[in-house]
Structure 1
């Protein structure tokens, strides 16, 4: 089984990602949390957990890790230091550790932050993090969902390199897409947007394998 470090494991989407990894026969999750009091909820479930702060040294967090998921976020409180520079720090140690894949949870609009004025700072931070990952030399997948909601997952999405519309998607289906992107047959070095749709997640990813950014 491959060890998967999940940055942002304590977040709403991060918890769903960890749960899916725990249930998988292929992956062993390592939940990365910022506060020591957040560790117990994962260790009680017999999930490996590491305490690490994206604003500090992350070298210890990457030990023994095969692949990385970045699902962390500052909730708009510190977007440059966490969403942007924190991602860059994790990318840097991932490169040093020769991780096999880095999956980034980004956002629709990250390619054009100026178009969404009330989220411009956040989307600029995501854009800069995405660019850094693309230029890192790591094998990557960048997943850019529409507006997240807490609806029940359908296991189906609509996937395009770039949509010309807005829309929503459940955190559950985003989590499924991110975990599916870890598989070796998933698209390499690709960036795509996802919304709720009617195509099975695995099929949507297979069809997108030609979408290389």
Structure 2
């Protein structure tokens, strides 16, 4: 399976592209915004394509062409305003979905945020981000794509344990970015994750076992 990672230069995106690049069953295409980022991936033997989430659907369609699956792990970042959150986390995500359908790519994995589906549980400090994630997720669920929506809790840079907890309504918690990337990788072909959405935090169950029990 050839997987396009949107947001490949982000922290989860980098871990995911490196993991998929050494996977026996998958190949990876890293979507980046500018030429300056290309060398970092080239040094790791990772193929790249340049496209901008603020560009056109046609541009994104060309980037997606030839892939079998898309992982959307892009984000505007915590240092930008609500305008960029709207343009990247919502409109950029929806344009990527539209481009996927036009390119004939069916599998789409969205990295969302813990409890983005429940307004009463949103973090008020980053409410515009939750609004963007909520509606992007809803558009994905209403599309014709075979989706998986993964809603991780607070992200950590510590080493992953390979053990997680998943569910529809988990308490606030944390998870290493490495384990988020591994969960994405497993979800690509795990039948139990297709057309499903779930919260994700660190837990006691091995990743495959946790996903099989969804």
Tell me, yes or no, whether TM beats 0.5: yes
Match of 2:51 in 1: 52
Match of 1:146 in 2: 153
Q: Which runs of 5+ in 2 are unaligned?
A: none
Q: CA 1:207/1:96 → structure 2, altered by over 3 Å: closer, same or farther? A: same
TM-score (norm 1): 0.93
Match of 1:116 among 120, 123, 126: 123
Shift of 1:69: 0.2
Shift of 1:45: 1.9
Kept in 1, the 8 Å contact 2:61–2:102? The answer is no
Match of 2:92 in 1: 86
Kept in 1, the 8 Å contact 2:152–2:200? The answer is yes
Shift of 1:137: 1.1
TM-score (norm 2): 0.93
C-alpha separation between the residues in 1 aligned to 2:147 and 2:10?
A: 22
What is the RMSD computed on CA atoms of the aligned residues?
A: 1.1
Shift of 1:161: 1.5
Q: Which runs of 5+ in 1 are unaligned?
A: 209-213
Match of 1:64 in 2: 66
Shift of 1:18: 0.4
C-alpha separation between the residues in 1 aligned to 2:190 and 2:161?
A: 23
Shift of 1:113: 4.2
C-alpha separation between the residues in 2 aligned to 1:52 and 1:86?
A: 11
Match of 1:191 among 193, 197, 210: 197
Shift of 1:63: 1.2
Match of 1:20 in 2: 19
**Greater displacement, 181-190 / 13-22:** 181-190
Kept in 2, the 8 Å contact 1:103–1:182? The answer is yes
**Greater displacement, 5-14 / 184-193:** 184-193
Match of 1:176 among 182, 198, 210: 182
Match of 1:203 in 2: 209
Runs of 4+ aligned residues of structure 1 deviating over 6 Å after TM superposition are: none
